[in-house]
Each structure stands twice: as C-alpha cells, then as structure tokens.
Structure 1
Amino acid sequence: MTQTERYQDLPLEEVIGDRFGRYSKYIIQDRALPDARDGLKPVQRRILYAMFHEGNTNEKPFRKSAKTVGNVIGNYHPHGDSSVYEAMVRMSQDWKVRHMLIEMHGNNGSVDGDPPAAMRYTEARLSAISGEMLRDIQKQTVDLIQTFDDSELEPTVLPARFPNLLVNGATGISAGYATDMPPHALHEVLDAVLMRMANPKATVDELMTVIKGPDFPTGGTIQGIEGIKKAYETGKGKIVVRSKAVIEPLKGGKEQIVITEIPFEVNKAVLIKKIDDQRLDKRLDGIADVRDESDRTGLRIVIELKKEIDGRGILQFLFKNTDLQIAYNFNMIAIHNRRPTMMTLPILLDAYIGHQKDVVTRRSNFDLQKAKDRIHIVEGLMKALSILDEVIITIRGSQDKRDAKNNLISEFAFTEPQAEAIVSLQLYRLTNTDITDLRNEEAELQKTIKELLAILNNESILIKVIQEEMQAIRKQFAEPRRSIIENEIEEIKITLDVMIPSEEVIVTVTKDGYVKRTSTRSYNASNGKDFAMKDSDYLLFESMLNTQHHILLFTSLGKYIYQPIHELPEIRWKDLGQHVSSMVSLDANETIIKVIPIDNFDEDRFILAVSKFGQIKRSTLAEYQVQRYSRALNTMNLKKGDEVIHIDLVTQSDDVIIVTHSAYAVRFNMEEVTVTGVKTSGVKGINLKEEDVVVNATTISVGVRGDLLLVTHRGAVKKMSLKEFENGTRGKRGIGVLRELKSNAHRVSGVLFVQDNDQVMIETSKGVRELVDTKPIRVTDRYSNGSFIVDTDKDGDVVRLWKVLKKKEYSKKS
C-alpha cells in the first residue's frame, strides 16, 4: 500500500505571521529581555544556576570557563557556545556591571573593547554576591521546570536576595522591544525597597530622597534630575553622562586635561582615537598630544594642550564633539507577569517586593515542614529511649529491618518515619546524655516552628524578616557611589578662539578660483611681489584676515562656498594656491565673482545679489552661516541662461545702481528690496528691453565719495558723478548713461565704483589688457560717451573691466 502525500494549503502571509509571532514571543519572553524579579535573562540565569549546581561557588577554587560553558550548553541552554561565554564574560566585567556576578581569572576583555581570551584559557567562579542571588534555591523557593531535553530541572527565576535589575541594570534588543536600564548603587536601591515596604504608597519624589539616580560602574557625572525623575515615573527619560576631567597646569604656560572617568559603555580606545582625530584633522588646533596613561591603578587619559590655549574651552568642544559626554536614554522594559512591561520605579520595586514575599513564604513553608518532620522523629526517639529495653527486645526478635519496623509500629504505635529512625539509631546514642540533647532539640524545633508560623500568619512579621535580610545584604556588600549627580544639564558653549588659535594671515583669491592663505612672514619675505598666478588670471581678493574668521566665495551660477579661514591651505606667497574645485565641486562654466570676508555673522547686514536678467534679492547675513559646508550652497535661484553678475555685503541704508549693456541705469534704496531666504529668486530690479542684460551693479553707502566708471565695448571710458543718478523705485527702465548714436552705438561692457588713485584693467576679446589710472579721467554728464582709450579695431572689443588691487603693507597689527 503506497502512502499518499499530505500537505496543507495555507496562505503564505498567515504561515509567516504565525511563525514570526511564535519566534517573537520566544525571544521577548525567553531570550533578550530581563525578568523584573531577578533582573536576569534566561542565559544569565542558566549560567549562574549551572555554576551553583556544580558547586563552582565563591568559597571554592576557580574552574575553567569552558567547563561551565559546556555544562550550560549540554544541560540548560542549547545555543552557541560564544553566546553563552559572552554572557558569562559580561557578568564578570567590572566596567559593565555595578556588582560582578562572576569572578574571572585571566583576560576577560577591557574597557578598550579588547576581546576576552578564549574560554579554554580563563577560569571562573560565582562571586560572593551571586551567592545571595541563589541562596535558598534548594528550599523550593522558586518554580523549577524541565530543561529542553527533560533530563534535569532549572529555575524559572532566582530567589535574588537583592534587586539585581536596578543594581546591575540591563540592555537587550528583541522583536519590537528593547531595554536600557542603567545600574544603581546597591545601598540606595535597598533603601528604596525598604521605604516602599514601609510605605507601599511612597511616591517617586519620596523614593528619590534615597535612590538619587543611576550609578555607573565607570563613574562620571550625571546631569539632569528631571530626566531621572521622568524615567522613574514613566519608564523613559534622558540624562547626560559626562566624563570626569580636571585641567592641570604645566610648566611654560601650558595646560593638560586629565580624564579619570568616562561615560558608561564608551570604548576608551575609540574615544582616544576620536579626540586625536580632532587634532590630526585640524578641527582643533589647540591639542598638542593625546596619551592613554591608564594602568592597573585606574583610567587616565591625558590631553596635552599647546601654549596659551584655554583648557576649559577645549574641554567644552570635546564634550560636544566626542563621547566624553553622551546622552543616555532610559527604556525600562522588563518581563513582568510573563509580559514585556514598561516599568516605572514603583512597579519595579513592587515586583521585587512581591517576589521576595513569595520566596520567604515558600522558604518558611519548606523550613516549617522540615522542622515538623524532625520534631516528629525526635518525639519518636524520646519515646523509644523511655521504653528502651522493650524496643531492643522487639528488634532482636525480628527477622530483618522491615520486620523490625513493622513490629515497632504494631506494638508501640510508632509511625513509619519514627520506626525508620529507631532501627537506624547507632548504639552510642543509647546513653543518658542523648535524651537531654533530644529534649533540647525538641525545644529548639518548637521555637523554630512558632517563629515560622508567625511569619506565615502575619504579613508584618514577614516584611520584617525581609527587611532584616536586606539590611544584612546592605551591610555586607554596599559600596560608595561612583557617579556624581548634578541637577541641570549644562549647556555647552563653544567659541572659535577655543578651536582655532588666533593668527593674522593674508588670504588671496584669483578670478580663476585659486585660493590660499599665506603667513605674514612669507608675504614680507617676498615684499608682496612675485605673487604666483597664471598669466590669464588676475587677483580678485587680497586681505589680512584672522584664522577665526570666514570667507564667502560667490559663483556666477548663484552658489556660494562657506570657508573658514583656518581650513584654507597654508601656501607660500610665491606658490600657486589651491583651486576651489578641490574644496567643493563646481560646474565647468561656473566662476568666482566675489569674495566677502566675515568676522561676525550676527551683525545687521545683508547679502545683495543681482542677476544678468535684472533680478535682485537681499538675504540676511546670518542665513549664510552653516554647520555643513562640504558642497556649494544656494544664494539665488536662477532661470535658465541667467547668471549672477554682482554680489555685495550691504546695510539697510545703502543704495544700489544697476547698469545694463544697452546703457540704461536705475538707482534705488535697499528698502525697495524685500528680505527673503537664500533659496529664493528675488524680485525684478530693472525693467530690461528685449535682448538687453545687466552688465553690473554698484552699491553706494551713505557718506562714501566716489564716481561711477563705465567702459564701452568700443573702448571708450567715462566717469560720472553719483549725483547724475536720482533715487527712484526698482523695476523701472531707468535713465540713459550714454549718448545715443544712430549707427555703431556704444554698449556698456563694464561698470565700477571708483575713487581717486584707483586703477582699473580693461581687457579686450583678443586678450589685450590696458591699465588705466582713473584720477585723470574727467567727470562728464550722462549724455557723453567718454574718451577712447583702447583701439578696438586692432585689439578687439572690450569684454572685461576690473579694479586692480594695490600692493599692501601688512604688519602683525594691521
């Protein structure tokens, strides 16, 4: 007979949902989350029980870790050996748990994240305080269940004579749930338990008079009482954990920062590397050296500072940018009544108190039954001694032990246990003194039974017993608090002087986009001459700036580059600078049109932008300060084919003059331009004729003297008084600035605001350059076409005009 194939036709989503549901339930209840009563995950509980069961306890010698791991895997926890050993190692690491549950000989890892030695090399045993976790487990104080193969029994929870979940904390991730509970000081937790037992309605505020907050094994300073209180009230809260650091003076005006405690769960080696990276990446120039001087006496990280650097400022920067300060988020989830529960402090304490009541009650019942059984035996022995001769005759007349017991039961009314005790009695016990011992034992047993019945029948006595045991634990194992708690989270304030030493440097930018900073020594050595630059290039910007300042480089396509001065490459005056494309990526046809130095972004100033198609916009300077500047940022949205032709730093009272290629100009006050964000397109500045474009714009500040210089494509130059341009409103066609000709009319190729002694460079389409002094050029009205300076028939039309930067004398104080 052939067997037919059997299968179930089930929807995939139902099968997957069912399987994942079962898996989730398993890892939530029986793997990743701790029990609220003993604070242990199943693997931790099994390790401790296996070691206790095998006699690997505190008063006995250490045993190989591999022996314990094999025992745990074979009898209780059928999973990988690495998961068992890792859990075992963590319980032995004094920088991970507040009170180690396992003592380990050998390399059990380090605070630097070094892995422990293999389990065949290390030895372990239960710690003294672990004995309190397992005490009285043999007295049926907790439920025992069958192990995975039904070969042995294992506990569902440990008796836990101290609140391990709060004392050692917990961390774990399961399906849909995660837990993060910080460790606490043992004496504070026990005081909170005692307070809650004395007053079951004690509030979080009252409990916090004794349990101040977390106490991390690595110490540190905890900031934020409100976060602790919120966590105790709701199960979720946030605190800040800060390293313990002191600033020590050194010889020669130097200082060093010494760190002796770091935040919980922070890898020391990674932390030191991150601090040193700040130095190597030039983000923090004040650090001279970072050393790890930790030894067996304790942790010690030394950050040596450069001369005249403020240690407090550097420390503030490191608090903000490294793991010298971290945020710790409470997420107090534990298994309570077989369900994952968000635990508040009162619920946690009540769960533990309820567990202890159950443990002490079950222990008392066990001891009571044992005392009753013993007193029953004692009564039988006393009765047997009172009729000793008859008992001996009866035993001698019996055939064997079983017959002797039956004869004693039938003739003298002894019970089975009493008869067993009598026939097992050794001859030396048949003395006169033994009856006295039995009577004393009976009295002690009666007293014990009375005490145990009182515990079982009176809850106040039960609570008193628990309290006395807690006091004994407190006295034996309490340690001083390691973490300091501060009420408020301190705001970290960082100033530029801290990060960057103040230094005066010369910053230059060329039209082709070569940027560099040069020391005053290199500049003076060259006497300001022989500036390295390509023949076709020219200097767009040169100024002495401080390394704590910034420059904004604006491009023709409406972008800007935010650049701190201290991050510019230091290059000699006679060497070519670094091209801007190595800082950020730019389009092929994108050029630098303006460089603006900024020492303070908070000032009430604006960035003005004017485009070729006549758009104008004004944005506050503060909007240009950014934290991330690895790419070019928007300063003006442009239409297709448009480009920015003018950028300037302006105030509310300034005027702007816009001049077009077809020789029209408009002047208006800055108030005409509404302040908008950096990502806008602006508003219409001038009404352009068809095919006309803006050549340039000029900003006019109140009280500043000067004239407007125009050059035409035909090589004519004219200078106009600013009075020729009356203030109006934006969006107009404007006034003509050249005399109209019927044929070969002049078109404006360049416009500049000039003052006496300024020099300008005129460049033609054939690359010919003409240097022009502006002072001899006389001022004419707007109906003049100026004087011819360039022979365009020979050299080509004029295409560019720029102001030549004068050679400057720099000193350290300039």
Structure 2
Amino acid sequence: MTQGEKIIKINIEEEMKTAYIDYSMSVIVARALPDVRDGLKPVHRRVLYGMNELGVFSNRAYKKSARIVGEVLGKYHPHGDSSVYEAMVRMAQDWAMRYPLVEGQGNFGSIDGDSPAAMRYTEARLKKIAEEALADLEKNTVSFKPNFDDTLEEPTVLPAKIPMLLVNGASGIAVGMATNMAPHNLSEIVDATIAYIDNNEITVEELMAFVKAPDFPTGGIIYGYQGVRDAFEKGRGKVILRSKTEIEVTDSGRDKIIITEIPYMVNKAEMIKKIADLINEKKIEGISYINDESDRTGMRIVIILKKDAVANVVLNNLYKHTQLQSSFPINNIALVDGRPRLLNLKQLIKYFVRHRHEVILRRTQFELDQAEKRAHILEGLLKALDHLDEVISIIRGSKTPDEALNTLVDKLQFSEIQARAIIDMRLRSLTGLEREKLQNEYNELMELIARLRAILADPILQMQVIKDELAEVKDKYGDARKTEIVLNAEEFNPEDFYADEDVVITISHLGYVKRTPLTEYRTQSRGGVGSKGSTTRDADFIEHIYVTSMHNMMLFFTEKGRCYWLKVYDIPEGTKASKGRAIQNVLNIEPDDKVKAYMNVKRLTDKEYIENNFIVLCTKKGIIKKTQLEAYSRPRANGVNAITIKDGDQLLEACLTNGSNEILIASREGKAIRFNEQKIRAIGRTGAGVKAIAMSDTDEVVGMICVENQELENVLVVSEHGYGKKSLLDEYRITNRGGKGVRTMNITDKTGELIAIKSVTDQNDLMIINKSGLTIRLAICDIRVTGRATQGVKLINLRNNDSIASVASVPKSDDKDDEIEESASNIEIITDVQE
C-alpha cells in the first residue's frame, strides 16, 4: 500500500446489493422499458432525435444509415452500433411496427427473417408520422438533460402528439421484469382518448367500445376475446392469434388451404419449413404439396391436400402443431415517473393525456412569451414612428450607438430592448406601407396573446386543444383495422348475428352442401321444365333438398348410422347456382360415408321437450328404430352412433315425432305400409331396430313419413319418370308392423319405379330436382287428390332420358315465375286401376 492510501472495509453483501440494484435500475430506466408518455425506449428516442437534428425529414433526401447511426452513437447513445442500427431498422419494418416511424430505402430485411443490408448500403429518413412525435420540440415542451459526456443535451421525452405506446406497442427484457405491449389501431385509440378527456370517470369496459382489440401489422385473426379483456382491464393477458386462411378447390377437385396473413412476429420461412418437416415426419397427414407464392402484392401460402383429406381436420392440426396459431402474451409494464408500473388501458390513456396536457401548457407559455416579446418590440417601433423626427435627431446627434440607445431610454422612455430595435431599424421601415405592416402584425399578435392567455387560464380550452390535435392526427394517419376478431363459442351467442330466416339446405350426390335463402327459388306451374339450379361437377347431381331456419340445430344422419350436430348458420352459404362446400369440410364424417337424412330441433336444453319427443330411423332394408330425443341432446364434434347398420344396409330416413304419429313406409316397387308409432318400442341409441315392412330381395325402401295431423296431411308419392299423385291418409289401412303393405302407386314402365313418399298439405309447395340439375317448384294444391292405386299425373317434363333425383316439400310461396316454358295444360290424368 502506497503512502497516503488507506483500505476501507465494507460488507461485500451490502456492496453487491447496492451495485446490483444500481445496475438493474439502469437497465430498467435507461434501456429496456418504454416511457409511458412517448412510448419510446431511450435508443428509439435518441434515433428519432438524432435524425431530427440531422434534418432527415420526410420531405428531404435520404441519408446513409451509417451517417445516422454515427450521429446517434457519437452524441447520445454510447453503445454498440448494431443496437442503434437494429432499432432504426425495426422502426422501418411495416410487419414489425403498426405505424413505422422511419422510411427506409434499400434492404431492410423481410418477414422471412432475412437480415437487413449493412448500414453502409441502406438509407433512411423520418416518416411524416414520426415528425408528429417530434413536433414542437423547440418550444420548451419537454425537459432536456446532458448527454453521456455533458457536451450536449438530449430530450428526456418527446412531445408525442400520438399515443405511440398504444399504437405501436413495445417489448423489452429488463432485470426481474419484462414488457410486451401490443400495437393498436390509431383511429380507435384516438377515439378512446377523446372519450376519456370528455369523461375522466369512464370505465375500461366503456373504453373497450372504442378500442376493440389489439391491431397487429401482419393482420391475422384474434381468436377468443378473454385474453384481450384481461389485458385491457388488468394489464396482463394472452391473446391467441391465428393465420387468415381460405379453403379453395383445385381444378382436379382437391381442397387447398390458402394462407394470406400470419400471426404477429412469426417468421414465415421458418413456419413453412416447420410444416414441411411435420409432413415428412408424418406428424401431419393429408398434405401433398406446400408452396410460398407470396409476392409484392401480398402473402399467399398454398397448401394442397390429398384427395381424401378433410380440410378442417388438416387446418386444426396445423393450428395445433405450427405457428399458424400462436399466442401473444401482453404485459403492459412501462415507466411512470421513472418507476416501472403495470398499467391497464385506462391508465395508459390517462398518463398520455397528462403528458400532452403538460406539453400544451409549456408550449402555450413559450408561444405567449415569444409573442409578448415581439409585441413589446413592435410597440417601441410604432412609438418611434410616431416620434420619428425626434428619434432621428437623437440618433444623428449621438457619437456612438450606445449613446443613442441611452438617450432614447432616458428621454423617450423606451426600454433597452425597444431602443436597440429602433437603432437596428432599416430606413425602409419609415414608409407608410411598412408602418401598416407593423400595425397589422401588432394587432394579430395581440389577438394571439389574448387567445394564449385564455388557454392558460382555462383547463377546458387546454383539453380542447388536445382533442383537436388528436382529431387532426386521426384524419391524417387513421386507417382501418388489419386484425379481425373472432369470438369463440363460450364468449358470445352466434344466433345474435343471424336473422331467423327460412333457408334451403341442398346436398349433392357427391357430398357438396350449402344453404340458400328460400326466396331464391321461384314457383312454376305443373308441367314446366324448370329453372337452372346448382352447378355441380361432372357426374354429380343434387340428391337432397331440405328446408329449415337459420337458428335451428341440424341433426345429420349418415348412411352408416352416425349422427352429427350443426347449427344452420354454420353451413356455408351459396347461391342457387353455386356448387357448395364438400360436406366433409363442414362435418367430421368419414370419407366413404355420406348424409342421408336430417332433422332440425331448437330446444335440446329443454328437459320436458327432449324426454317427450323421439327420433324414428328407417333403413333401406326395412328396419325401423325409435329412440328418445334425450339421447341426442349432448352434441359431440365427431358425432355418435344412431343405429347399428348391418352389412348391405344403410340408413335412409329420420323423423322427429311426439310418440303417437302415424308412420308410412314405401318401397321402390310401389308398396306402402301404415302403422302407429306406438307399435315400436323406444330403445337405446346404439340398438339395431326391428323390421318395419316385408319386402322381396330385389325391393328396397324409398322413404318414410311420420304423419301427426291426419286430417290436414296428405300422402304424396313420386316416381322416377316424373309422375306423382296425392292421396288421403285414410286410403292406407292400418296394419301391424312387419307386414307387406298395400299398393301406393300403379308402377309401370311409363311411370318408372317409386322414388319418394312425402307428407304434404295444401300450404306446401313441391320442389323437384332432377339429375341434370334442373329444378321446378309447384304448388301442392294444384295436384288433385286421387286414389291410392292410381298412376298419378305428370309433374315435370323430362328430357334426354333424364330422371328425378330428389323431391322436397317446402313452405308455400306467392312468388310466381313468369317464364313458363311449357303450358300447365300438358297434364295427363291416368284412370284408377283397381288393386
């Protein structure tokens, strides 16, 4: 130890505590966390201020990024050049910032994770919106502090007309804490801020009427709202983000998934590579091809599926195993008065308004001081012009300017500042025109001073200034939301978004489904050739037409005996001429299964209703089964077994009954059997059922009807060659279940075999569709009642060996079709034939 030195003993534990606290606070305050007022971390603030000092404004030429980085490093931010350059690059990336603050020229990276070019190659300048953050900096609006070497000063915060912490978000990792704030839509934030100014007692819930949710620069979909609500109310929450996708069909008939937007902060190239790896590892099945077709016009990732793959299943697997769905954890920690705090939506707006209020006060005071100084000088100049001869005499008689100044002060009572301005005044100011200009300037200044003093004296006017400036910012830079919001099933009632209107559900032979407003179908008279219906693929035709309403719950029964649930509004909408969507993409049914029957119910939660109603099922081999509706009251995504189907058989019809309906079952050879529903005992959901009708080996059931009102309902049968007839229910005598039945139609080569049996009233229309896709709608009341064993009347004229594919009874319509291609007089009545 040298002379004069001494050792001071300290407690190392206390020293480490002190040193670590100093270090952590330095990281928290001076590096990692944004300030609640301007929403910027120190490096971003210094980059913007450095560019402002360089004059790299939006209306001027770009400057080399290296020049900007050097300015910031040398004057304000003594850290690595990469930290400054990376901060500036991020402020220029439109997929990273909702409202970029820097305009870059050159390679500034990509959403694929490509690195930006070196700073010697790129150029940059401020964007117009960044100038709003720097506006009025020279008007003493914010405090300054010495830079790292005390040679210059830098602002402690920017004036920030825009609430940048909310609109652009922030992220940072400090010591013992981190922040991750989501970006929002500028227009929504401005509206919410103005609402807060108008009512400081506004609640977060009320603010959420203006700010719907975060709005990410990459778009995408926010799936579920609870995380958003938690973030707004508590400052912490997890937002689930999904890619925006569409399902299209290739020319070869395969489904393909098109991805047009991905979640925020997801690397597109890495996401595609991950999907490809999962395909190769067989962890995701059903994908045959993936390609990135993105270009300058936008993002487009194409995933083509295998022939039998179900698009919804593949998409859900992609959501589960890849970044096609990701979460964004929100943690709203920012510096408030130099201390880190967790803030909710209202607090974030509150502290921004408080900052702007202080800026407005300081700016107004600065402008008032400047205006008063200038007004003082103008008063002196105008007074000098009033005493011009005497002023000139004093100046000419003085040996030095200082002598003239002192004489003007002493003799004419000018202030020193006024006297100096008079001495510096040019001779041209003595003209009458210049005097008028001075007088006008003085008058305008007095008006400005009065307005500025009024603002300083009235807090209401101060808040109005803030609101006006925010409205101006919204007009300049406000835009529409990029990120959609999709609420999940637990968070809203989807029925509130759909009117309870009648719709037609159509299912084609190859399994394409759609819903169409019933009003799209027109009424024709009997014998018309029909209007063009759905456009289907080659060899496809519409096989089923069902009528229901938007709020109903649809129960779909497949030929393998499975039951699936679906709300009508979840069925894809299409026009009458559109093909629809493959039903495998709407229901999770097996590829070799297809829907054969349906029913619609509303009250699966009503115990009395589900315990006193039944589902009756019928198969092609004449098996019938009755099960209580309660067994179907618990929907499952993957469906349930409704009936055990034996080999060679398949489910054909399903009816909802009240327990005492009359049941009629018809066969292809023209036989029908009638018995009361009470003849069938209700059994469990997985039972096989009992025999309903005895048939030959070549015969099969074509349909089943359940008649509730015997006086109003008639029995309608239709043959494949377009013949049909309406008969009274009493024409069919009641027999026991399992008999051969009676003749329901006189089957000939002319009529063709029976294809349908329906229960109808005169308040119904009959919709017929043939295999070529033509449709006709005619009124049931136009078909007269005939005997049970007659051949019937011709309902539709068929061309080119066409035949009827399906018929359906629909509500009556008054909308008449004027374009009838054939007269309704072409009706052939066939005389009764005794059995």
**TM-score normalised to the size of structure 2?**
0.58
Show CA shifts across 1:264-319 (max 9, x none).
Answer: 00011110001111111122231111111111111111111122322221111101
Query: Would the aligned equivalents of 1:223 and 1:489 in 2 still touch at CA under 8 Å?
Result: no
Instruction: Give the corresponding residue for 2:103.
Output: 103
Instruction: Give the corresponding residue for 2:73.
Output: 73
> Displacement of 1:209 after TM fit?
0.6
User: SS state of the match for residue 326, structure 2?
Assistant: strand
User: SS state of the match for residue 67, structure 1?
Assistant: helix
Identity of aligned residues (%): 48
> How many angstroms apart in 1 are the aligned matches of 2:404 and 2:81?
55
Instruction: Give the corresponding residue for 1:284.
Output: 284
> Displacement of 1:128 after TM fit?
0.2
User: SS state of the match for residue 44, structure 2?
Assistant: helix
> How many angstroms apart in 2 are the aligned matches of 1:286 and 1:399?
101
Show CA shifts across 1:530-561 (max 9, x none).
Answer: xxxxxxxxxxxxxxxxxxxxxxxxxxxxxxxx
> How many angstroms apart in 2 are the aligned matches of 1:6 and 1:102?
54
Rg (Cα) greater in structure: 1
> How many angstroms apart in 2 are the aligned matches of 1:43 and 1:260?
34
> Displacement of 1:2 after TM fit?
5.6
Query: Would the aligned equivalents of 1:253 and 1:308 in 2 still touch at CA under 8 Å?
Result: no
1:169 correspondence with 2:169: yes
Instruction: Give the corresponding residue for 2:343.
Output: 343
> How many angstroms apart in 2 are the aligned matches of 1:8 and 1:112?
57
Show CA shifts across 1:160-183 (max 9, x none).
Answer: 001000000000000011001100
Instruction: Give the corresponding residue for 2:657.
Output: none
Query: Would the aligned equivalents of 1:241 and 1:326 in 2 still touch at CA under 8 Å?
Result: yes
Query: Would the aligned equivalents of 2:284 and 2:318 in 1 still touch at CA under 8 Å?
Result: no
Instruction: Give the corresponding residue for 2:426.
Output: 426
Instruction: Give the corresponding residue for 1:136.
Output: 136
Which one-letter code corresponds to 2:383 in the other structure?
K
1:479 correspondence with 2:479: yes
Query: Would the aligned equivalents of 2:65 and 2:123 in 1 still touch at CA under 8 Å?
Result: yes
Show CA shifts across 1:387-435 (max 9, x none).
Answer: 1111112112222322222221122111111112111111111101122
User: SS state of the match for residue 145, structure 1?
Assistant: strand
> How many angstroms apart in 1 are the aligned matches of 2:32 and 2:2?
47
Instruction: Give the corresponding residue for 2:274.
Output: 274
> Displacement of 1:374 after TM fit?
0.7
> How many angstroms apart in 1 are the aligned matches of 2:349 and 2:377?
42
Query: Would the aligned equivalents of 1:240 and 1:489 in 2 still touch at CA under 8 Å?
Result: no
> How many angstroms apart in 1 are the aligned matches of 2:44 and 2:439?
46
> How many angstroms apart in 2 are the aligned matches of 1:94 and 1:281?
35
The CA RMSD over aligned residues, in Å, is 1.4
Instruction: Give the corresponding residue for 2:225.
Output: 225
Query: Would the aligned equivalents of 1:98 and 1:216 in 2 still touch at CA under 8 Å?
Result: yes
1:58-207 map, 5 Å: 58-207=58-207
Instruction: Give the corresponding residue for 2:208.
Output: 208
Query: Would the aligned equivalents of 2:171 and 2:181 in 1 still touch at CA under 8 Å?
Result: yes
1:262 correspondence with 2:262: yes
Which one-letter code corresponds to 1:160 in the other structure?
A
Query: Would the aligned equivalents of 1:136 and 1:363 in 2 still touch at CA under 8 Å?
Result: yes
| 1:489–1:87 CA distance, 2 compared to 1 (3 A) | farther
> How many angstroms apart in 1 are the aligned matches of 2:111 and 2:401?
65
> How many angstroms apart in 2 are the aligned matches of 1:412 and 1:189?
58
> How many angstroms apart in 2 are the aligned matches of 1:143 and 1:461?
24
> How many angstroms apart in 2 are the aligned matches of 1:305 and 1:153?
61
Instruction: Give the corresponding residue for 1:665.
Output: none
> Displacement of 1:226 after TM fit?
2.1
> How many angstroms apart in 1 are the aligned matches of 2:144 and 2:305?
61
Instruction: Give the corresponding residue for 2:17.
Output: 17
User: SS state of the match for residue 334, structure 1?
Assistant: strand
**5+ residue gaps in structure 1?**
492-814
> How many angstroms apart in 1 are the aligned matches of 2:278 and 2:452?
66
> How many angstroms apart in 2 are the aligned matches of 1:432 and 1:400?
28
1:540-555 map, 5 Å: none
Query: Would the aligned equivalents of 2:92 and 2:103 in 1 still touch at CA under 8 Å?
Result: yes
Instruction: Give the corresponding residue for 1:352.
Output: 352
Show CA shifts across 1:644-672 (max 9, x none).
Answer: xxxxxxxxxxxxxxxxxxxxxxxxxxxxx
> How many angstroms apart in 2 are the aligned matches of 1:85 and 1:7?
45
> How many angstroms apart in 2 are the aligned matches of 1:399 and 1:176?
73
Which one-letter code corresponds to 2:193 in the other structure?
V
Instruction: Give the corresponding residue for 1:718.
Output: none
Which one-letter code corresponds to 1:41 in the other structure?
K
Instruction: Give the corresponding residue for 1:660.
Output: none
> How many angstroms apart in 2 are the aligned matches of 1:482 and 1:364?
37
Query: Would the aligned equivalents of 2:215 and 2:482 in 1 still touch at CA under 8 Å?
Result: yes
Query: Would the aligned equivalents of 1:76 and 1:148 in 2 still touch at CA under 8 Å?
Result: yes
Query: Would the aligned equivalents of 2:69 and 2:84 in 1 still touch at CA under 8 Å?
Result: yes
1:440 correspondence with 2:440: yes
Query: Would the aligned equivalents of 2:285 and 2:314 in 1 still touch at CA under 8 Å?
Result: no
Instruction: Give the corresponding residue for 1:560.
Output: none
> How many angstroms apart in 1 are the aligned matches of 2:215 and 2:388?
66
> How many angstroms apart in 2 are the aligned matches of 1:428 and 1:308?
92
User: SS state of the match for residue 460, structure 1?
Assistant: helix
> How many angstroms apart in 1 are the aligned matches of 2:53 and 2:396?
43
Which one-letter code corresponds to 2:388 in the other structure?
L
> Displacement of 1:463 after TM fit?
0.5
1:333 correspondence with 2:333: yes
> How many angstroms apart in 2 are the aligned matches of 1:167 and 1:475?
15
Instruction: Give the corresponding residue for 2:41.
Output: 41
> How many angstroms apart in 2 are the aligned matches of 1:462 and 1:2?
65
**5+ residue gaps in structure 2?**
492-835
Query: Would the aligned equivalents of 1:99 and 1:167 in 2 still touch at CA under 8 Å?
Result: yes
> Displacement of 1:490 after TM fit?
8.6
Query: Would the aligned equivalents of 1:75 and 1:152 in 2 still touch at CA under 8 Å?
Result: yes
> How many angstroms apart in 1 are the aligned matches of 2:292 and 2:455?
56
User: SS state of the match for residue 253, structure 1?
Assistant: coil
User: SS state of the match for residue 179, structure 1?
Assistant: strand
> Displacement of 1:7 after TM fit?
2.6
> How many angstroms apart in 2 are the aligned matches of 1:420 and 1:224?
70
| 1:2–1:13 CA distance, 2 compared to 1 (3 A) | closer
User: SS state of the match for residue 371, structure 1?
Assistant: helix
Query: Would the aligned equivalents of 1:204 and 1:229 in 2 still touch at CA under 8 Å?
Result: no
> Displacement of 1:327 after TM fit?
1.4
| 1:489–1:7 CA distance, 2 compared to 1 (3 A) | farther
| 1:231–1:242 CA distance, 2 compared to 1 (3 A) | same
User: SS state of the match for residue 418, structure 1?
Assistant: helix
> Displacement of 1:324 after TM fit?
0.3
1:386 correspondence with 2:415: no
1:461-610 map, 5 Å: 461-488=461-488
Instruction: Give the corresponding residue for 2:238.
Output: 238
> Displacement of 1:489 after TM fit?
7.2
> How many angstroms apart in 1 are the aligned matches of 2:65 and 2:273?
33
> How many angstroms apart in 2 are the aligned matches of 1:104 and 1:392?
58
Query: Would the aligned equivalents of 1:90 and 1:97 in 2 still touch at CA under 8 Å?
Result: yes
> How many angstroms apart in 2 are the aligned matches of 1:123 and 1:196?
40
Query: Would the aligned equivalents of 2:245 and 2:257 in 1 still touch at CA under 8 Å?
Result: yes
Which one-letter code corresponds to 1:237 in the other structure?
G
> How many angstroms apart in 1 are the aligned matches of 2:53 and 2:194?
31
User: SS state of the match for residue 390, structure 1?
Assistant: helix
Which one-letter code corresponds to 1:61 in the other structure?
A
Instruction: Give the corresponding residue for 1:395.
Output: 395
User: SS state of the match for residue 247, structure 2?
Assistant: strand
> How many angstroms apart in 1 are the aligned matches of 2:195 and 2:146?
37
Query: Would the aligned equivalents of 1:381 and 1:418 in 2 still touch at CA under 8 Å?
Result: yes
> How many angstroms apart in 2 are the aligned matches of 1:165 and 1:342?
13
Which one-letter code corresponds to 2:52 in the other structure?
F
Show CA shifts across 1:500-523 (max 9, x none).
Answer: xxxxxxxxxxxxxxxxxxxxxxxx
